[in-house]
Amino acid sequence: MSEGPELSIVLPVHNEAESLPVLWRELEAVLARIDRHVEIVIVDDGSTDGSVDIARALARTDSRIRLIRLERNSGLTAAFRAGFDVVSGSIVVTMDTDLQNDPADLLVLLEALEGYDAVVGWRQRREDPPIKRLSSRIGNGVRNRLTHDFVHDSASIFRVMRRVCLEAVPPYAGMHRFVPTLLRLASHRVREVPVRYRPRRFGRSHFGVWNRALRGLADVFAVRWMMRRRIRYTVARDETDSISPDVSGR
């Protein structure tokens, strides 16, 4: 009987027909250097450009690839959740499919996972227009101020997590932007590691500055509410330890 996958890679796709074949060639070369059983879950988030056909073709050529299709465009958080629901590896990887994440950095993230529950790729040098870099800096600052956490790049989706971490991410829209904070809230050990961030080669970004600002602010207040409403208690050990179970059947 073959062993199950140790490493699950979730790739959300929305209209990335040009990028997907290039990404697979790069990722395939990196996986050849990883001595682990791997599964790749491609989650198509309502693409209309032929991404599904390309994903199907890739799955036919490599048995490690699975395709999950969402009936309509449901957003990045939903795409991740659909992937998380079917993965079986003890370590879960998430990354972009627009080629801005470099698959070679997966080796860096996996190595950094030793002693931690999750490692987040920090896009230290952004190859984005100035207005987008500025908005990202402001967004990170607001998130850190309101959550009392410090994360260099909260919105980075290039992450490596132990599977147990998935339980800490609630199934609500926008939560993919707060994964480091949500994991720390659940007492997981999280670290950030610098990764490369490349300019987009094909198409255009699905996320603009203004279509995220108000939504992101609403999301950060939702996370802040969760942090303030978190249940906190301490069990009195001296009391519980002094009670022995009655095994006499009385």
d(CA 123, CA 239): 49
Domain assignment present for 141: yes
pLDDT value of position 206: 54
pLDDT at 218 over 60: yes
Domain assignment present for 242: no
Domain assignment present for 244: no
How is residue 105 annotated by DSSP? G
User: What CATH number is attached to the domain comprising 218?
Assistant: 3.90.550.10
pLDDT value of position 202: 74
Domain assignment present for 249: no
pLDDT value of position 54: 97
pLDDT value of position 211: 52
Tokens in use for 205? 């970004």
Domain assignment present for 241: no
Q: Which amino acid would we find at residue 141? A: G
Q: Between residues 34 and 4, which one has the greater pLDDT? A: 34
d(CA 226, CA 79): 22
Domain assignment present for 13: yes
Domain assignment present for 69: yes
Q: For every residue of 124-186, which 3-state class applies, written as one string? A: CCCCCCHHHHHHHHHHHHHHHHHHCCCCCCCCCCCEEEEHHHHHHCCCCCCHHHHHHHHHHHC
- Domain residues for the domain of 148 are 7-232
Counted domains in the chain? 1
pLDDT in tens, 113-159: 999 999 999 988 766 556 565 556 666 666 666 666 767 887 789 99
Percent of the chain at pLDDT above 90? 56
Could you give the 3-state DSSP secondary structure of residue 36?
coil
pLDDT value of position 212: 58
pLDDT at 198 over 90: no
pLDDT in tens, 32-81: 999 999 999 999 999 999 999 999 999 999 999 999 999 999 999 999 99
Domain assignment present for 178: yes
pLDDT at 239 over 80: no
Q: What share of the chain is helix, strand, coil (3-state, %, to 5)?
A: 40, 15, 40
pTM: 0.79
Is residue 20 a contact partner of residue 37, using CB atoms and an 8 Å limit?
A: no
Q: Between residues 122 and 209, which one has the greater pLDDT? A: 122
